[in-house]
Amino acid sequence: FDYTRISDLVKKEPSDQIVAAQGWVRTKRDGKTVSFLEVNDGSCLKGLQVVIDRAKISDDILAPVTTGASVVCRGRIVESAGGNQQVEMQAEEIILVGAAPVDTYPLQKKRHTLEFLREIAHLRPRTNLMGAVMRVRNTMAYAVHTFFQERGFVYVNTPLISTADAEGAGEQFHVTTLDLDHIPRTADGAVDYTKDFFGKMAKLTVSGQLEGETYAMALKNIYTFGPTFRAENSNTTRHLAEFWMIEPEMAFCDLEGNMQIAEEFLTYVLRTVLEKHEDDMNLFSQFVEPGLKDTLWQVIEAPFAHMTYTDAIAELSKNNNKFEYPVSWGSDMQSEHERFLTETVWKRPVIVTDYPKEIKAFYMKLNDDGKTVRGMDVLAPRLGEIIGGSEREARVDVLEERMRECNLNPENYWWYLDLRRFGTVPHAGFGLGFERAVRYVTGMQNIRDVIPFPRAVKSADF
Ligand code: 4AD
Ligand code: MG
């Protein structure tokens, strides 16, 4: 097995040693006596230039070596004569591994639209742009783990199949073995879930938070990082039906501590990407979102803005004439309002706190005013909500009351209430939508282009 990557070869000092480059041909150019290949294995943005002396390598061998073909190129790394790269490979041997016929291979040299690329989700990672997005996504996942691991948080895997509705929003996919054409019914006509696989109604989780809290009540600081599912009928550029979420949960922590960690965490992830991905970030800054790199550095360097929901609504309602949906106290913010706060009012991320209880989940701590809860949303320019979180209701009686107000049956959440019956503590946590974060960092405009295989309303092609 050869561990050599193209990203190492393009940085190698020229030498007489023969090395092998394995990868896919991105482009091929034929001159009079020499041909040029750009070969890449996805380890970096710009591939290795392979220079082929056609007196040495026959046209028969070269003919099927076209864009998309897989090859092994053996040769020496030499200083490059052209100005586009430091070094290139002087080929001794070209081995075609798998051809990609020019008349059928969909990715030819011209630029393709993102819409077209979505239809060929299995081939789009071979484009420069998608390769860059996926490398950055990988580094972000790594940064998520390092951030929490370095701070002693325990990584907890929460279940994907669940009988609880963590957000109480009723937007869950069902998991069932019942035959939908012959649904078993009880005498009174209800679905007979005793005949179902689990013996009761099961769903795909919308969040690992509730189960995460149980582990925070034992291990103090934990985080989850896994897939979550929402059957929201939102056909937008920021909603997916299957997305990844990072949910830290901290015992002995209040809303202030929660906000501090959320800000440290986001800036840590941004910084890691900016430091590790110069070429990829330059690509995004140049072709996707002009000035992206500078903007992200500014976000890292200035503290996030803070405001209460009540203040935010006061500010927004002064500008109601600018919105499709005017707001008043009690309104849920839409993305146009979130963007106004971050792009016009503050020009940086904003943390909004203390929302009306009616528009937030049952588990958020009730403030003394009886009307608002200790929730927080982190809003980002270009995107709107990137993080949602709160201090949790730690008082068992208040929590039960809130559940009833939200039409949830406390009996179904007996284990969650036990956390407040036995050794309850103030605790808090938040959820970062991973794809929203990748969208934010790369400047990509559609969330479907930052996850390998997007699942969204009316679309799951692979
Ligand atoms: O605000 P949400 O619904 O909060 C929770 O799920 C809490 N349980 C989190 C917690 O406190 N532990 O979702 C959290 C984040 C949102 O801010 C957003 O970034 C992302 O998850 N998100 C989505 N991302 C993509 N597609 C969707 N349909 C999303 N819904 C939420
Ligand atoms: Mg939210």
Long-range Cβ pairs for the range 49-56 (8 Å, 24+): 49/80, 49/82, 49/84, 49/85, 49/88, 49/89, 50/21, 50/75, 50/88, 50/89, 50/91, 50/94, 51/88, 51/89, 51/90, 51/91, 52/91, 52/94, 53/90, 53/91, 56/91, 56/92
- CA of 386 from ligand 1 middle (Å) equals 8
Which ligand 1 atom lies nearest to the CA of residue 387? 17
- Helices 128-150, 434-442: crossing angle, 10 deg rounding: 120
Is the Cα torsion angle 240, 163, 376, 146 positive or negative in sign? negative
Instruction: Give the pocket of ligand 1 (CB within 6 Å).
Output: 166-167, 207, 209, 230, 232, 239-240, 243, 245, 247, 385-390, 429-431, 433, 435-436
From 437, 357, 447, 454, select the one nearest 402 (Cα to Cα): 357
What is the complex's ipTM, to 2 decimals? Answer: 0.99
Render each residue's pLDDT in the chain as its tens digit; 462 residues: 888 999 999 999 999 999 999 999 999 999 999 999 999 999 999 999 999 999 999 999 999 999 999 999 999 999 998 888 999 999 999 999 999 999 999 998 778 999 999 999 999 999 999 999 999 999 999 999 999 999 999 999 999 999 887 787 778 999 999 999 999 999 999 999 999 999 999 999 999 999 999 999 999 999 999 999 999 888 899 999 999 999 999 999 999 999 999 999 999 999 999 999 999 999 999 999 999 999 999 999 999 999 999 999 999 999 999 999 999 999 999 999 999 999 999 999 999 999 999 999 999 999 999 999 999 999 999 999 999 999 999 999 999 999 999 999 999 999 999 999 999 999 999 999 999 999 999 999 999 999 999 999 887 766
What token pair was written down for 359?
A: 């528009």
Angle of the 255-276 helix axis to the 128-150 helix axis, nearest 10: 140
Tokens 């040693």 found at: 17
User: If you measure from the C-alpha of residue 147 to the centroid of ligand 2, how many angstroms do you get, rounded to a whole number?
Assistant: 22
The CA-to-CA distance between both ends of the chain, in Å, stands at: 31
Q: How far is CA 236 from CA 239, 240, 264, 457, in A?
A: 6, 8, 28, 9
Atom of ligand 1 nearest to the CA of 208: 8
The reply to whether 274 and 133 lie within a common domain is: yes
Question: Closest Cα to residue 380, out of 266, 237, 272, 282?
Answer: 266
Number of folded domains that form the chain: 3
Structural domain containing residue 201: 172-205
- Structural domain includes residue 62: yes
Structure tokens at 48: 């290795």
Residue nearest to atom 17 of ligand 1 (CA): 387
Q: What is the pTM of this model?
A: 0.96
Is residue 329 packed enough to be buried (19+ CB in 10 Å), middle (13-18) or exposed (0-12)?
A: exposed
- 116, part of any domain: no
Residues 88, 150, single domain; the answer is no
Is the same domain home to 74 and 156?
Answer: no
Q: Which two tokens stand for residue 200?
A: 């009761």
Nearest CA to ligand 1 atom 23: 433
Q: Cα(60)–Cα(124) distance, rounded to whole angstroms? A: 29
Q: Are residues 215 and 201 in the same domain?
A: no
- Residue at 456 is within a domain: no
Same structural domain for residues 72 and 197? no
Which of 207, 365, 376 maximizes ligand 1 atoms within 8 Å of its Cβ, making it the mutation to test the pocket? 207
Measured distance CA(188)–CA(156) in Å, rounded:
41
Torsion sign, CA atoms 193, 196, 200, 203: negative
CA of 378 to the centre of ligand 2 (A): 9
Is there a contact between 45 and 87 (Cβ–Cβ < 8 Å)? no
- Alpha-carbon distance of 203 to 161, in angstroms, equals 6
Phi-psi region for residue 189, left (φ > 0), alpha (ψ -120 to 50) or beta?
left
Nearest Cα to Cα of residue 353 among 321, 314, 310:
310
Q: How far apart are CA 143 and CA 267, in angstroms?
A: 11
Domain-embedded: residue 178: yes
Q: Do 291 and 314 fall within a single domain? A: yes
Q: Which two tokens stand for residue 317?
A: 């309602």
* Same domain, residue pair 151 and 274: yes
150 dihedral zone (left: phi>0; alpha: psi -120 to 50; beta): alpha
392 in the same domain as 356: yes
161-162: strand order across its sheet: 161-162, 202-204, 174-175
The verdict on 71 and 153 lying in the same domain is no
- Residue owning the nearest CA to atom 28 of ligand 1: 239
User: pLDDT at position 461, please?
Assistant: 67
pLDDT on residue 462: 65
Residues 180 and 294 in one domain: no
> What CATH number did the domain enclosing 72 receive?
2.40.50.140
Judge whether 442 lies within some domain: yes
The protein residue whose alpha carbon is closest to atom 6 in ligand 1 is: 207
**Cβ–Cβ < 8 Å for 254, 426:** yes
Q: Are residues 60 and 131 in the same domain?
A: no
CA-CA distance, 391 to 459, in Å (whole number)?
Answer: 36
Q: Are residues 282 and 417 in the same domain?
A: yes
The answer to whether position 110 is within a domain reads no
Q: Cα of 179 to ligand 1 centre, how many Å? A: 32
Q: What is the residue with the minimal CA distance to atom 2 of ligand 1?
A: 388
